[in-house]
């Protein structure tokens, strides 16, 4: 057969498209995480009663914590299936750097589990009596914050590959690392509601994203190599 070499970019696109296709054929997996977020966040208004002031006050942190938890729920899926069926081995000995492969899988994970949260969060925020200005900042903070969650989470997902009880271990590894994102994500919305500017908190979230973008795929790709060895 003739070889018509394909470029790195084209291969990266294929890895991304494949992950999305596989996930789409197992829609229930994505949906369950998505609905977990909606239900968990909706439990608070139901449990705390109709006190608009109180709900308004706790809204940013509740929504952010729910986003953290639902992101974490979907983490084991990032590499697990590929590890079990042998695709991960093939990915690692492909002629492309593992770093780029890990990056594409992280991106696919974010599109499948982070992006839906960004889109639905403003709607959930309405239950908490948030103003339109606050909803806007909430969406922006999640838009910058959730990719950071996927990136940091990839390290945990790669490190716990093939371990028994990996799911609980991921939570122990990753949740502490999520704290800065939570503080500044919820902080951005809180700042707006007390009449301050959210720019500071959002810039810090952006800085975290930049930092995670540099270190997380690198660390995850090393962990993946160790996992298949």
Which of 25, 47, 132, 176 contacts another protein by CB under 8 A? Answer: 25
d(Cα 169, Cα 162) in Å, to the nearest integer? Answer: 12
Which of 16, 42, 57, 96 contacts another protein by CB under 8 A? Answer: 96
Please tell me whether residue 28 binds another protein under the rule CB under 8 A. Answer: no
Would you say 161 and 185 are in contact if contact means Cβ atoms under 8 Å apart?
A: no
Supply the minimum distance, in Å, between the C-beta of residue 93 and another protein.
Answer: 5
Please tell me whether residue 227 binds another protein under the rule CB under 8 A. Answer: no
Supply the minimum distance, in Å, between the C-beta of residue 94 and another protein.
Answer: 4
Which of 35, 43, 52, 89 contacts another protein by CB under 8 A? Answer: 89
Which of 52, 86, 162, 200 contacts another protein by CB under 8 A? Answer: 86
Q: How many other C-beta atoms are found inside a 10 Å radius of the C-beta of residue 118?
A: 20
Please tell me whether residue 162 binds another protein under the rule CB under 8 A. Answer: no
Q: Quote the tokens at residue 6.
A: 């394909």
Which of 91, 170, 212, 224 contacts another protein by CB under 8 A? Answer: 91
Supply the minimum distance, in Å, between the C-beta of residue 226 and another protein.
Answer: 10
d(Cα 113, Cα 74) in Å, to the nearest integer? Answer: 7
Q: Quote the tokens at residue 136.
A: 């806007």
Please report, for residues 93, 156, 162, 185, 221, the alpha-carbon distance to residue 227 in angstroms, rounded to integers and kept in the order given.
13, 12, 7, 32, 10
Please tell me whether residue 95 binds another protein under the rule CB under 8 A. Answer: yes
Q: Is 162 left (phi over 0), alpha (psi -120 to 50) or beta?
A: left
User: Can you give the binding site for another protein, defined by CB under 8 A?
Assistant: 1-6, 10-11, 14, 18, 21-22, 25-26, 81, 85-87, 89-97, 228-229
């Amino acid at each position: 057969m003739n070889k018509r070499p394909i470029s790195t970019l084209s291969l990266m696109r294929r890895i991304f498209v494949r992950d999305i296709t596989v996930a789409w054929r197992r829609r229930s997996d994505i949906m369950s995480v998505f609905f977990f977020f909606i239900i968990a966040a909706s439990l608070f208004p139901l449990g705390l009663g109709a006190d608009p002031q109180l709900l308004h006050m706790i809204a940013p942190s509740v929504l952010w914590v729910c986003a953290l938890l639902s992101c974490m729920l979907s983490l084991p899926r990032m590499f697990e299936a590929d590890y079990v069926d042998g695709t991960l081995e093939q990915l690692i000995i492909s002629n492309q750097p593992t770093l780029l492969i890990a990056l594409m899988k992280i991106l696919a994970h974010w599109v499948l589990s982070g992006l839906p949260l960004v889109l639905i969060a403003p709607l959930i925020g309405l239950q908490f009596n948030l103003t339109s200005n606050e909803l806007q900042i909430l969406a922006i903070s999640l838009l910058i914050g959730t990719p950071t969650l996927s990136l940091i989470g990839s390290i945990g997902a790669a490190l716990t590959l093939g371990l028994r009880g990996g799911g609980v271990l991921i939570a122990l590894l990753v949740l502490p690392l999520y704290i800065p994102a939570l503080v500044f994500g919820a902080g951005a919305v809180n700042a707006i509601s007390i009449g301050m500017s959210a720019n500071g908190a959002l810039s810090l979230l952006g800085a975290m994203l930049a930092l995670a973008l540099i270190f997380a795929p690198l660390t995850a790709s090393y962990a993946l190599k160790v996992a298949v060895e």
